[in-house]
Amino acid sequence: MTYPYTYGYNDANEQTTVGMPGGVTETRVYGAQGWLGSMTLTQGGTTRYLVQAISYADGELGPQGQASQAQLGDNGSRQAPARR
């Protein structure tokens, strides 16, 4: 048995949606620089955040573009470990 997956892309060719079996949809939102801003999962009319409010290093505290902090799920916040 095969299950169809569908994929959506924006004008910058960034993957924005993944449709999965059972009516599940993963949605990704990107900022102006093309970095991931949030990711949600929707099923049965209920949407939940997988990750949101992602902060990225500006080059002073780590490599530019490296995620430095993110809110996981609908309420938890996590800071990325420092790279040495």
SS3 state of residue 1 = coil
Q: Which residues does the chain have with pLDDT short of 70?
A: 1, 59-64, 75-84
Q: What is the pLDDT of residue 67?
A: 82
Q: Which two tokens stand for residue 2?
A: 């095969």
pLDDT tens per residue across span 30-41: 988 888 999 999
Q: What is the pLDDT of residue 82?
A: 47
Q: Which two tokens stand for residue 81?
A: 């470990």
Q: What is the pLDDT of residue 84?
A: 41
E-strand spans in 10-45? 15-20, 24-30, 36-43
Query: Rounded distance, CA 21 to CA 26, Å?
Result: 11
Query: Rounded distance, CA 17 to CA 28, Å?
Result: 6
| pTM recorded for the entire structure | 0.76
